[in-house]
Amino acid sequence: MKILLPLLLSAALVHAQTDDPPILKPALDSAEIESGGVPNEGTLPGEFSVRKGDGTISIVPSDRGTKVLKLEPTADASKETLLLPCLVYRNMPEEFPNGVTFQARIKPDPAWQLPQTEILSGRVSDRGTGMALSFRPTDRLVDVVSGSGDTEGDVWGIISNLQAKITTDGWTHVAAVYDAEKKQFRLYFDGQMIAESATDLALTPMSKNLTIGAYRAGYTYPFRGEITDIAVYDYARSEDQIQADAK
């Protein structure tokens, strides 16, 4: 496996001119999790399935004055339980010819110390294909990766650096962008671009199931804490656009 490390930037870059709405955005303020017909599952308006699994998933008021998604997995994440709390969007496009942007605002539980969790995961496997915005609780760092999908294949993207750690006592807006024109990944914290990958990198096809708060519909890598302002755009958002969302 090889991973391409980012370059730190001091200058802002402006990219996509469009301001089309997101293709995916859970309406948490007006949503309720409803019981479904499948054990440990429920529904949320907008083609979202709720995996309850080992732990709890709920929509609760937050200190931001809005409702947020609260994830509290209780399973030993080192075991393959195959069912951890998460949301699953089951109509994710596989191809993004104009690029893609993953965004969320997160407040991790400081007591949850795993090597890796996933915030938004469109990956088919650990080495791709697809894209994932990941959080590493032990380091308090966020990454964006894609991969070839082969058993012995490569992984590429951004492994974030020690200069941009996520706070555990408040909220952080995080965004991952794939720029289809430059074939480049970019990573943003609170609206500021903190890293970009090398160019000429591919975004391989997404999973049809986008998982929020875990990997592959709750298979492993569970996030514990609160998430809100979840959005996926089918183009590369500019830094100005992401800054506006991060306020």
Domain-embedded: residue 42:
yes
Q: How far, in Å, CA of 178 to CA of 189, rounded? A: 15
Q: Are 83 and 54 in contact (CB under 8 A)?
A: yes
Give the amino acid at 226. Answer: E
- Cα angle: 24, vertex 35, 92; to 5 degrees: 20
| Dmax (CA) of the chain | 52
The domain that holds 86 is classified in CATH as: 2.60.120.200
Residue 98 inside a domain? The answer is yes
Position 3 in a domain: no
Q: Is residue 11 a part of any domain in this protein?
A: no
- Asked whether residue 10 is assigned to any structural domain, the reply reads no
Instruction: Using the CB atoms, write b or e for 155-172: b if 16+ within 10 Å.
Output: bbbbbbeeebebeeeebb
The sign one gets for the Cα dihedral 50, 56, 57, 59 is positive
Burial of 27 (0-12, 13-18, 19+ CB in 10 A): exposed
pLDDT (tens place) for every residue of the chain, 247 residues total: 333 333 333 333 334 368 999 999 998 887 777 665 555 666 776 788 888 888 889 999 999 899 999 999 986 655 555 688 999 998 999 999 999 999 999 999 999 999 999 999 999 988 879 999 999 999 999 999 998 877 677 889 888 776 678 888 899 999 999 999 999 999 999 999 999 999 999 999 999 999 999 999 998 899 999 999 999 999 999 999 999 999 9
Q: Give Cα 215 to chain centroid, integer Å.
A: 10
- When divided into structural domains, the chain yields a total of 1
Query: What string of DSSP letters covers 110-171?
Result: TT---S-EEEEE--SBTTEEEEEEEEETTTTEEEEEEEE--TT--EEEEE--TTSPPPSSS-
Domain that holds residue 235: 28-246
Token pair of 180 as six digits: 């289809």
The residue written with tokens 């949850």 in the block is: 112
| DSSP per position, 178-228 | EETTTTEEEEEETTEEEEE--SS---PPPPSSEEESSBTTTTB----EEEE
Rounded Cα distance, 190 and 176, in Å: 12
> 2 burial class (0-12, 13-18, 19+ CB within 10 angstroms)?
exposed
In a domain, 175, yes or no: yes
The verdict on residue 2 lying in a domain is no
Q: How far apart are CA 116 and CA 142, in angstroms?
A: 9
Q: Does the residue 13 lie in any domain?
A: no
- pTM value is 0.88
